Amino acid sequence: MKYIYTTTLLLLFAVSSITAQQGPLVIDLSHNLDENSGGVFDVELRVSDFEALYTFQLFLKWDPDMYRIDGVPFVNDQLPFFDDTSIILPSEDVSIPDDGKVRIVWSNATTLTLDDDTHIVTLRFTALGQPCAESKFFFDDIGNLESETLLAADANLENIGIEFDDMNVQIPGVDCVSSNENLESNISVNIFPNPVVNFLNVDFSEQIKTEAIMTLYTIEGKVIEEYNLNAGKNSISVTALNKGSYLYDIQSQEGIIHRGTLYKL
């Protein structure tokens, strides 16, 4: 799922003028967790459309019951003043404590442009969850602090936002089923937003002719909730759910037609 965040300005700098307004900074996430990694894996962050930037602040988030961040094996020194101290781990971020978040910050006195697909940082994690369990890595706001990128335009700093595809990471196991998989090719299910805070939308394609049931499980497979779904559009309150990752499946008269992972913020 693709997200574009455009947020309010947090930082002020004295800047010179540049002529063109650019689009969001594009961030690509990748990982190398597989059956041979022993549960230890790296997450790489690469950037594109990094043009004439002075500063950025990013909050990368995940489910801390599933994965633990252990270190920062690589920081790109092409960015002036960007080093290990720019990567604020959960144990170091006393102002915004959260075991499922890392804060990445950078600022410079003059603008900087990087080549597309520049590798800026690698984060090292250990998998804590059960085999086949899955959790999402994504960028998000923290309270009233935003994941943001800032651009100088006409002597003013403008928040250009970030664009990214969230990344599902599944712990290797036997006969695992990928998250968010439509099991019947003629049935489409759209579930959003995911991650979710209060209300989850579950929309079926026009091919669905019968009601269905959405069953929610803990990562260990214990049933915790069932929701009756209409054949069209549905809105489900999940306000009472605790924060974390949940498995789910959706079943109609044809059997299980969709399953995946839900992330509650």
Q: 149: closest CA among 82, 229, 240, 53?
A: 53
Query: Are the beta carbons of 153 and 21 closer than 8 angstroms?
Result: yes
- Does the global pTM surpass 0.75? no
Residue type, 80: P
Domains 2-170 and 181-264 share a fold: yes
Domain boundaries, the chain: 2-170, 181-264
Residue type, 3: Y
CATH superfamily of domain region 181-264 = Macroglobulin (MG2) domain (2.60.40.1930)
The CATH class of the 2-170 domain is: mainly beta
Digit-by-digit pLDDT tens for the chain (265 residues) are 555 444 333 332 323 333 445 678 899 999 999 989 899 999 999 999 998 888 888 999 998 988 999 999 999 988 999 999 999 999 888 777 788 899 999 988 888 899 999 999 999 999 998 888 888 899 887 655 555 555 554 445 677 888 888 888 988 887 665 555 555 446 678 888 888 889 999 988 666 666 789 999 887 778 899 999 887 889 999 999 998 888 888 887 777 788 888 888 8
